[in-house]
Amino acid sequence: MRAMILEQPGKPLALRECPVPEPRGRQVLLQVLACAVCRTDLHIVDGELPNPKLPLILGHEIVGCVARMGDQASLLSIGQRVGVPWLGWTDGECSYCRAGKENLCPNALFTGYTLDGGYAEFTVADERYCVPIPESYSDASAAPLLCAGLIGYRSLVHAGDAKRLGIYGFGAAAHIITQVARHQGRSVYAFTRRGDAEAQRFAEKLGAAWAGASDERPPEELDAAIIFAPVGALVPAALAAVRKGGTVVCGGIHMSDIPSFPYELLWGERSVSSVANLTRKDAAEFMEIAPKVPVHTITQPFPLEKANEALNLLRSGKLEGAAVLMCNEVS
């Protein structure tokens, strides 16, 4: 099969011919129909996340079709279309797993990071961590739901019942979560890089009540804010924009250092929290909600071998919506 391989962080991915992996135990072999490109992939390529599997096939927003079953796999069937998210395996027995917090499992394995992912024509995945894909979505449009959607949704839940919700960083997660928040009757305040009029118009088109630069104050105090951009300076900026008792949720896996800030910004029972990974329960809940909203995803397709181009466009902030690799389409 063809795969885009990360051999060393800091180097572009290389197109290689590899053997099709064998599904073992509870794994299934999936033909990859689509795989979305996530900012986390960039953090891995740039060496900002420690100890990736090497060489590595990136990609943790996989829509695939079951082609073969491992000898102990029984939950899925041949031909079924499923999604493979970031959480690829947990031990099921540590104190976190037993408390329903498998997202924090110290032995967890992650798709496209410590397990091979979907930047390839085929991949294997443990069937217990695959999620069904709602019928109404095409392969490409479903792919961004699997991380931007799931992690975005977990961040939204952590923001509580905030009516006025700020979102910092208007990429793939924000464009999905704005639609869910609007559906729930919340008002969304979108913060983008200064001067990014295009992203601000995009946010307004999706129903944001206000869109502006991240160092601007919104017209109203916010009840909560979610930060999707990997920029630590946004933490004090968001704290300054939320009311007393409000929460700032950091939704990304990596962030530049948070600059020091006066205690006054945190005082008034404001809080800062982070969202790490996802649970299977998040995935099941979000896949129920997405078609009801219905969440529309905006995607830009790329052939598998153009993965480096897609990553570079993401890095430069030049994508509207999400880049999706169509791994089995011949260009």
Extract long-range pairs of 49-52: CB within 8 Å, 24+ residues apart.
49/113, 49/253, 49/254, 51/114, 52/6, 52/9, 52/113, 52/114
Q: Of the listed pieces 100-108, 121-129, 227-235, 283-291, which binds Zn ion according to CB under 5 A?
A: 100-108
**Nearest to Zn ion of 40, 141 (CB atom):** 40
Structural contact between residues 307 and 114, judged by C-beta atoms closer than 8 angstroms:
no
Minimum Å gap between C-beta 229 and Zn ion is 14
Q: Which distant-in-sequence residues (6+ apart) come within 8 Å of 261 by Cβ?
A: 235, 236, 239
Footprint of Zn ion on 117-176 (CB under 5 A): 147
**Nearest to Zn ion of 139, 223 (CB atom):** 139
| 105 lies in the binding site for Zn ion (CB under 5 A) | yes
**Nearest to Zn ion of 90, 279 (CB atom):** 90
Q: Could you tell me which residues are beta bridge partners of residue 325? A: 35, 302
Minimum Å gap between C-beta 20 and Zn ion is 25
Minimum Å gap between C-beta 8 and Zn ion is 21
Minimum Å gap between C-beta 185 and Zn ion is 27
Distance CA 282, CA 154 (A): 7
The tokens of 305 are what?
Answer: 């071998």
Give the x-and-dash track for 79-98 against Zn ion (CB under 5 A): -----------xx--x--x-
**Nearest to Zn ion of 18, 94 (CB atom):** 94
Q: Could you tell me which residues are beta bridge partners of residue 27? A: 126
Which residues sit at the interface with Zn ion, rule CB under 5 A? 38, 40, 90-91, 94, 97, 105, 147
